[in-house]
């Protein structure tokens, strides 16, 4: 077909030019979107990742976490648990500049996000990505300041997306440590896709980050509250003493490993969840797992003092107690010896698919039957514990139990 008055040869040339004009920019764009190495990401983005120190009324450091700057005027994204309970904050930039503040732009208690505001100008900012586009299996880079070590880098993959009561979290294999909370999780294009939140210590590289899109709508440069406004969150009732953190119930090195966990003011009845946030529940669960064959019933009672604990089984040599709702969707069962009352088993009561289990603990298990129950036996873990998951008749995971390996 030929358009009247337009030579066929010239029309073909014109079409080729149009096609080139369409495809060349796309090729250039694709080239510009190439994957970046961890060292490139660190070089381009780490100037915006900061240390946040929590200070008491005397100016003494009571805790430390990480954060990252998201506006040139000084809005800093971090975890709420990093700043909660502090009288003021000291924000340290990698270049040596230090800002002291008590101002907050916004907080989200359920998602553990806080936007801190310092009085900055032309500060380095992290490039934000779209966390909704993140895919399981893609490489990630975590930049934070564990133990105060400025801009430590670790790499891994996004191994899963977990659904909690109010939001999603990314499960990642990039190693993180105490002090990493609030750090930045980057994709391979050098864009922040998550806020590093917490780790499950007994797991092997089972770490989590909150998708950055949850924080995007909170970002701004106008403070709306101060740290003093957060203090009522630490009280169970008006005029009551601040509720103790779970970390305050343990000694030694374990204190730092649980600094983000706090006892709920819930759970006082058998139908009321002990924790609103699953990460807090998991931290209690793994504290108990670490205490198998080491702590007794009185120590467990201190850790679970806000919960309604009921005796569910009793035998000559053992007894079992339950917390029906550790969270709205997770229960807990504890086994003790008699008469010593030594903790020998910790069981999480869940309603998971096998995929959920594998995303959390991996797929290196052996299937077999114990009595009438089908189990997935993970055998002896590096921690010295034995782990077994029990399935129901539909093939769903109903419990995950840890005991001391023989």
Instruction: Give the number of domains in the chain.
Output: 3
Confidence band, pLDDT 50/70/90 cuts, at residue 11: low
In a shared domain, residues 169 and 290: no
Q: Taking residues 354-383, what's their average pLDDT?
A: 86
Half-sphere exposure of 117 toward its Cβ, with a 13 Å CA cutoff? 17
Cβ atoms of residues 302 and 250 within 8 Å: no
CATH of residue 205: 2.40.10.120
Tens digit of pLDDT for each residue in 200-243?
554 455 688 999 999 999 999 999 999 998 854 433 333 333 33
In a shared domain, residues 242 and 210: no
Dihedrals φ, ψ of 316, to 5°?
-65, -35
Among 226, 261, 282, the domain-final residue is 226
Q: Taking residues 311-334, what's their average pLDDT?
A: 84
Question: How confident is the model at residue 10, as a pLDDT?
Answer: 66
DSSP 129-158: --GGG--TT-EEEEEE-GGG-TTEEEEEEE
In a shared domain, residues 261 and 362: yes
More confident residue, 321 or 106: 106
Tens digit of pLDDT for each residue in 379-403?
988 778 899 999 988 888 989 999 9
In a shared domain, residues 75 and 113: yes
In a shared domain, residues 190 and 279: no
Mean pLDDT of the chain: 80
Determine if the pTM surpasses 0.85: no
pLDDT over threshold 60, residue 260 = no
pLDDT over threshold 80, residue 298 = yes
Cβ atoms of residues 356 and 317 within 8 Å: no
In this structure, are strands 113-117 and 75-78 parallel, antiparallel, or unpaired? antiparallel
Cβ atoms of residues 275 and 264 within 8 Å: yes
In a shared domain, residues 69 and 203: yes
In a shared domain, residues 56 and 171: yes
pLDDT over threshold 70, residue 252 = no
Question: How confident is the model at residue 127, as a pLDDT?
Answer: 96
Cβ atoms of residues 379 and 366 within 8 Å: yes
Q: Taking residues 146-151, what's their average pLDDT?
A: 75
> Which residues constitute the domain of residue 1?
1-34
In a shared domain, residues 374 and 397: yes
Question: How confident is the model at residue 242, as a pLDDT?
Answer: 33
> Considering only 123-127, 193-197, 317-321, which range has the smallest mean pLDDT?
317-321
In this structure, are strands 139-144 and 88-92 parallel, antiparallel, or unpaired? unpaired
pLDDT over threshold 70, residue 248 = no
Among 226, 255, 282, the domain-final residue is 226
Confidence band, pLDDT 50/70/90 cuts, at residue 69: very high
In a shared domain, residues 259 and 282: yes
In a shared domain, residues 22 and 39: no
In a shared domain, residues 4 and 57: no
Confidence band, pLDDT 50/70/90 cuts, at residue 356: confident
DSSP 187-202: -TTS-EEEEEEEE-TT
In a shared domain, residues 187 and 301: no
Among 179, 203, 226, the domain-final residue is 226
pLDDT over threshold 80, residue 246 = no
Q: Taking residues 336-356, what's their average pLDDT?
A: 87
DSSP 185-251: EE-TTS-EEEEEEEE-TTSSS-EEEEETHHHHTT--SS--EEGGGGGGGGBSSTTPPBPPBGGGGS-
Q: Which of 257, 259, 332, 264 is nearest to 300 (CA)?
A: 332
**Is the preceding omega at residue 339 within 30 degrees of 0, hence cis?**
yes
């Amino acid at each position: 077909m030929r358009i009247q008055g337009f030579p066929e040869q010239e029309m073909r040339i014109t079409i080729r030019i149009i096609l080139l004009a369409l495809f060349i920019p796309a090729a250039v764009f694709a080239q510009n979107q190439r994957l970046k190495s961890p060292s490139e990401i660190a070089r381009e983005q780490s100037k915006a990742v900061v240390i946040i120190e929590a200070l008491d009324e005397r100016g003494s450091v009571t805790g430390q976490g990480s954060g990252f700057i998201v506006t040139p005027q000084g809005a800093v994204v971090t975890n709420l648990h990093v700043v909660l309970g502090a009288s003021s904050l000291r924000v340290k930039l990698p270049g040596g500049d230090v800002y002291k503040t008590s101002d907050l732009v916004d907080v989200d208690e359920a998602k553990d996000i806080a936007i801190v505001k310092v009085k900055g100008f032309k500060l380095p900012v992290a490039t934000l990505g779209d966390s909704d586009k993140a895919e399981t299996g893609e490489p990630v880079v975590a930049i934070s300041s564990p133990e105060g070590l400025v801009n430590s880098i670790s790499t891994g993959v996004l191994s899963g997306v977990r659904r909690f009561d109010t939001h999603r979290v990314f499960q990642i294999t990039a190693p993180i440590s105490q002090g990493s909370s609030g750090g930045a999780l980057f994709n391979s294009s050098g864009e922040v896709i998550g806020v590093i939140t917490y780790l499950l210590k007994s797991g092997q590289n089972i770490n989590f980050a909150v998708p950055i899109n949850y924080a995007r709508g909170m970002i701004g440069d106008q403070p709306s509250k101060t740290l003093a406004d957060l203090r009522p969150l630490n009280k169970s009732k008006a005029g009551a003493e601040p509720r103790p953190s779970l970390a305050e119930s343990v000694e030694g090195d374990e204190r730092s490993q649980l600094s983000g966990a706090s006892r709920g003011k819930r759970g006082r009845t058998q139908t009321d969840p002990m924790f609103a946030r699953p990460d807090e529940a998991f931290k209690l669960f793994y504290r108990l797992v670490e205490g198998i064959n080491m702590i007794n019933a009185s120590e467990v009672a201190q850790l679970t003092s806000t919960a309604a604990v009921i005796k569910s089984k009793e035998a000559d040599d053992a007894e079992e107690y339950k917390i029906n709702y550790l969270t709205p969707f997770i229960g807990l069962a504890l086994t003790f010896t008699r008469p010593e009352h030594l903790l020998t088993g910790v069981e999480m009561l869940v309603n998971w698919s096998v995929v959920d289990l594998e995303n959390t603990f991996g797929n290196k298990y052996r299937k077999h039957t114990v009595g009438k129950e089908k189990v997935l036996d993970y055998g002896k873990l590096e921690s010295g514990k034995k782990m077994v998951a029990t399935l129901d008749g539909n093939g769903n995971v109903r419990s995950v139990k840890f005991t001391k390996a023989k």
